[in-house]
Structure 1
Amino acid sequence: MFHIKQLELVHWDYWRRFNLPLDAQIITIVGPNGSGKTTLLDALRTLFGLRCSGKRDFRRYVRRANRSFAWIRAVVANRPGSTGKRPFFPCLKDEVTLACRIRRAGGDWTRDYAIADGDLPIEALEANEDKAVEWVGYRDYQSRLAWGGLTPAIAKVLALEQGDTDKLCEYSPKALLELVFDVFGDKEVLDNYAAAREEQNNAEKELAALGLDLDRLRAQAETKRLEADRYLEWKQLDDEARALAAEIVPRLEVAELLRDIAQARDDIARGRSERQKSEDELNAQRARSAGVEAEKATAEAERKAARSRDLEAEEQHRNALIQVHDCDKLLAERTALRARLAREAGDAAVDLEADYARADARLVHLQRQEREAIAAFEERTAQLRATRDHRGPPADGEVSRFRNRLREAGIAHRALAEIVEVTDPDWQGAVEAVLRPYRHVILLEREQDRHAAWGLGEQERFRHFIVPELETAPPATRGSLAEVIRFADAVPRWLADLLNRIQRVEDADAARQLPRETEWITRDGYHRERRGARHLGKPAEFHFGELARKARLKQCEADMHSIDARLREIRPQLDAAKEEADALRARLHGIEAAQLLAARATDFEAAENTLPAARARLTQAIADRADAKGDVDRIDQSLRGIEIELDRRRRDMAGLAARVNQLTAEAAPRRHDQANRIQRLRRVRRGMPADWRDPAANALLADKYDGARGARAELERLRQRLANGDWVTDDTVLTLAGRLKADVLDRESQYAERERHCNAARRITGEARAAYIAKLRATVRQYGKNLRALGDLANVDVDCPVPLLDNDDRALAAAGLEVRFDFDRKGAVGLNDGEASGGQQVMKSLILLIALLMDEARPGGFVFIDEPFAHLDIANIDRVGTFLRATRAQYLITTPVTHNANVFAPAQLTLVTRKKKPGDDWAPPIGLIQRSL
């Protein structure tokens, strides 16, 4: 580092102008307190860009001169160092002028600095005719001085406060280590580490700030997203509410009105139809009730008749019992007479009487056969007349009774046998066999009478079909059974299908040519169907068509001829039997017993003949009596049923009448409501778009909202929700949400980039820290070497171990420099452990201070030391002086005049300061004492 050769001050404090030679190693500045020793050092500090001592600054000194400008100029050495480089390159002369120009500007003081090659006076610097001198600012000037060797660390040492130079030993190990590295450390390494650490800290701070900003931005984006969602939800709800109010509710109302109108129209029509039906049913019920009343009267008459028959049966039973008793009595008398005849006339008379009895019995039998044949002939004669007069089927009691009930109820009908005509006599038997189950089927002429007819059939327990569904018979299939039948009127469809399905064949062998599934029948009635084949049996009596009637006529005539032949056969036998009986009766005449037997033979024979009949009549009377009682009970039960039926029908009629009245009362309000609905529909539908009337779309809307009522409820719910909810209704929130989302993505990208940068900064910091630690170790080793060298000069053992330095900021922050001193072989003492004396404290501080300024690459330099000999005895003053002379640095030492003269022993140049006298404008110039070499 350079050293000072000359100093010139103009208007500095109370000095007007003077020039001091400072080309010496040890310069002592002596004077009383307040004579300007520190002021002189502060001038040098201001020139070198250092901080003044205490709370002073350069303005304090220039204001005292009461002038508008001030100058501080120094000439310093610029000789090349061990590297051959001059401190103030590109200045190539051995001397360089350093100047500080202070001027008043607008009420404040400013200072400019210049570095000029060679020794230039103040006037030349002021004139600067050739513009060779460049005036710079404070920061640039400090940078130039740092290149010259006056680094910020050395500047820090030079700027130590008055009295602090002897207190370096009181520094903490950590503070001392920091000071040592500030002075000795490689500026670039330190700058790199500081820059890397600063970059890392900045990067981490920036990353943390960016992370906070990203979190804040994410929170804002999330808030805006939620607000956007709320807006979208509000928009959706508002649009739906508007659509409900403007379109959906009217559409559903119209659809429901149309549906209600159609339903009401159907209800009105249904009500009208139901009322008409109820009236018809009421009339029918009244008619049927009248029929039931008639049936009740009939049943009561039947019950009366049945009771009469019961009485008659009882009377017949009594008479039959008496007749059986009388017959038994007569036969007992005959037996007694025969016994008497056997006693009086012998057994021959008994045999004769037996022959007479047999002849008489044969006569009675032939007479009975004659009577029965005559009755049968008369019956067949009546049937012949009836068959000739009537073209229908043979009468059946059950069917006739039921048809009479249908006629009484006004139900027009026909029997199936009345409309079927067989056109081929050869197939009459087969047709009769197939249609035998359907002989008594009843066909209704009006289909609407079916329920009434079925009701009567239920009452009568009618076992045959009542068919209301009739249609014209389709054309007959060729070869089918329907081909030999002609229908006079409409028939059930199932009957026509049945007859068309059955094919006619001559015999079973002829059916081989037909398909497997074909139904067929032979003339003899052998029928094949899906279940198999069987013989249906040929009916003895035909029912269907004219051929059946003719067959019945023919049968009646044949029966009459047969009966007549039987009568012609019986009558001769009857005459012979009468003659034989008369002859035997004559032979028995003359014997009393025989006469009695003969006289009463008729009675006896009648009794004998009557007895089986009487017993049969008795049995029949018993059965008739039981039947009569059963009829009475049945009729009583039937009457109870009729009473129940009448009561039910009365209730039904009352209900029907009430229903008719109710339907009549409901019809007018319904028509009125229907008219109101139609008017409302016209009002609501007026001006409605055509597509709003689409039934399919309206049906979907109705399914979605459950009708207009549900849509109105949904509309009210949406309105309540819109009114009570905290919604966002400004659509700009969507733009803001999108922008914030994009900003978040961009900021996340930036955060990732900064995070990579931060990781790189950490890596670079780690590398710079490693380099810094390596340099710090080397610096500590160099400083320890300097300390030991200075200790040898001062005859003090100094130990400066290298501290533990790890590649970690915390370890570096906690590291310190432990320096131990051993004075006079009395034991090592630390920096500030209270073991050293005052002189030893000053020696420790000087060693520590001067070791900071020892640089083999830049030997020399200067040091400002304020009063280092304070509180030292004479021996220590000499010791310190010897130590200072042994070093190669330039020292500017202040000392008060009260010290021992030994303080001047090491000085080669002594500057003597004096106080300004009262009344003088300027202080006296500084005195100069130079030791001759």
Structure 2
Amino acid sequence: MIRIKEFNTAYWGRIGTVATPYQFNEKVNAFVGASGSGKTTLMDALRIALGDAKFEYNRAMDHYINKVSNWSVVQVAFWNRENEGQPFLTLGFKEAEITVCVRLDRSSGDCKREYYMFDGSFRDIVNLGQNPKAYQLNRVKYGEYLQKLEVAGLTFAFRKLMLMKPEDVQNVVGLDANRLFQLIFDIKGQKAVQNEHDLASEKLKEVKNLELQSSEDLASAKKTLAEYENKKIEFEANENRKVCQQKLNGLFLKKKYWDNKNELKRQQKMVLEEESKQRQIETTKSEIIDGIALLEKALETEELKEEEMRNQIQAIFEEVKERQTQYAKQEAEYNSLNNTIKQVEIIPYEGMDSLKSRLETTVIDLQGVNFEYKTIENTRKITVDKLDSLKQGYNPLPEWVGRFKSVLDNEKIPYLMLAENISIKPKYEQWITAIESYLGRERYRIVTLPDYHLLAKKLQESQEYGARVSQTRTSRHPINSKKLDGKFISLRNALDITNEDQIGGYLEYLNNIYLVESVEEGHQLSLNGFKSLTQKGLLQDQEGGLFLRVRELVCGSAAREKYRLQLEKELDVLTEKFELLKNEKNTLELFIEDLSVRIDNQEKLLHLAQLYIEKEQQEKELSLFKRNLDAANKKYEDYNANRNIQIELIKTLEKQQVQKEAEIVAIQKEIDEVGRTINGYRGSIGNCKIDLKKSILELEEMGYDEHSISFIEVEILSENIFVREDGSEWNVEILEKALRNISEQIESYERDSNIDAGIIAMVEPQKRRVDVLTTTYELAKGDREQWENRLVLAELALKNHVHETMTQYIEEFKSMAELLGARAEGKFQQEGPSYLSWKIQIKIGFDGKELVNYDDPEFSSGQRAAISIMLLLAAVSNQKEGTKNSLMFLDEPTARVDDARANEIGTILQKSNVQYFITHQISESLKSIDWIDHAFITSKLRNGQKFADSPIFESRRK
């Protein structure tokens, strides 16, 4: 029998890879957790290792590949020990365990799966996922893998049962008696007995068909023999037509030969005539080409002259542009200087020292305002960021706290923070600021499981985390719900606490702090030996009063809302101050800009006399540049006039050249036309030669040699072989038509009659075939009688086997019913000749009630679920003879039953000789379950995690 030892995964969904694979018990193994925590995902990992391709909720395979990877791997180890019967030994696996790995890969777009088998333990699944080529020797094709599972004991029928959906398992009671029989027989039946019956039934059909066929073949053979004899006469008549066909064919081939030979001579004569005409046209073309050459030489000379003139004009044009640039530049400088003088002349006089002193004083004032402006701007931005974070639902933790939380998340350390697990009840909202002030940094205490505590403290030291890092601690004292003096409530009672079973021990001291409204009330309590906290934050005890203040409010939504209102008030004040500073800053900047302009104007006023001198000098230079520009423009116009005369001469020569080239084109067309005619004749000559050669080959195929072919001309001229009896002459068309008619008669006969020399020769063999078919018919008749007898015996054996199997099943079901304190009976009905229509009737009664059918509607949902599971388990269990069906998957088998019924089902699971894998919703009732041997507690994926926390192993056996 097959049992699973352990399994592990890599990048399978959101389940992380563990260092040591999950170990399974030989009885009941449960995946326990809330909805969405990965229970079914773990079950599907086992299912795919057993060859399944369909998963829960019709998920595709690539659903199980984590988003950070393109592949995932499932590793499952099976026992191969002697006490399990070494199920894989016949496959060549000798170690005490064998390992199967399934690798999913979607790197190519489509998701593919690969199966690998190892003799012994194999756990390096990450390397297998990254480097599959290194393990090609262990790879097994999917079809071969299913065959190996079949040999080891996991049959196709049982795998269908094993992979049934939860609703199908729970609704087995919904099957009618016939479908229930089919399900049970698929699981328990011996295929050899069933196969013998099916073989005899199929073989009988075959021999009956053979007997009928041999009878039909014998009648057909006799009929064919008669047809062969009748067709012999028709065949001989067709042979005579073939002789006539051969004679006409010889005459036809000789006529084709003679016509092709004469046509070749005619085509050759036409080629000679066209070639003479072509030579005459070529001579005329040469004369025109010589004239074009003279024109091109003259044109080239004139174009060189024009190019030289163009280059001279370009040089003169560059000089003009340079003169224009110089004049424009000088004119711009003159105009700019003249405008500057006009602007300086109207500037009023001011004292330079007074202006500079005022500028220095104003710059110092602006520097002070800028510093305060930047400070307020940064403070305002920080306040806006905090408000935005609060509005988006984030907890306003200090930066040093958030940084340490990120480190813990990256290291995959599960933890709780007091601030995220406590909140002030709305009733005590007036004490929010005071309570958070009193808690201080205690709010940021980090609580971890003992297994992670040492690693968390190391990280605390390296990160210099300024709050406590502790192990989980359960509260030893309950919350003090009694009011002191019937009026004052403890601080701990003002809190809503989650995960108290892990953090409650760090909040016990709050039982002794009482909330008061006034200092007077707190003072009175301190005289009586009690500690108190006022709404504004004054802590009073035997050591005196201490006022507490805190900035961030982080404990619960009410605290964060109060913190938001506080920040909004601060933002209003900061915004008002920011706008005032901004206005003052703008005023000072404008004043500095004005002073700078006025100082610059006084500098210009000092240099006014020098500007007058520069203006007079620039007027003289501008006049000189104008004279130079006018002279350059005159020279440019004279050269352009001479170049235009040269261009007209070139155009005249070009027109003459175009005319000559047109004459060349026309005469070339004439030459091309003659060439095409010659080529046409040459092509025809080639075709004529081919046709003549083909005619000669056809004659040679008819048996004519070279001498006989040359003698054809003598036959034509001296013997008139193409003259018909009526005096008319044969031509190719008439010969071809006559030959086609007689050929069609021969082809029609051979096609329609299907008679040839081979068929005529088959007359005697056909007589012998009739004798053989007579013998075959007699033998088939005897085989049919033998298989009829064998089928009778096989039907009897099948009925006995099914009856025995169903009897064992009924006894097994009775035993399971007794485990639940119920009574059961069963009856097997063989109705009809085919076992496919047989039925099994099961009745059961709970709590001493009368026996009713297993699908009775009066049963409760819990009873129906229990009956469904018993119907299946009775099929896979056989306490007397043992069973190969040693694995079973049940998804939430106790989902529809109460705790008492669930424990009864658990008793059945423990009694059967099957290894179970089940899922179970987490609840308080799990603590009372003693029929689960190994439990794996799953958890949901938290925000920011790539993988959920690894399942926690719990042994349910003492």
TM-score by length of 2: 0.40
Larger Rg: 1
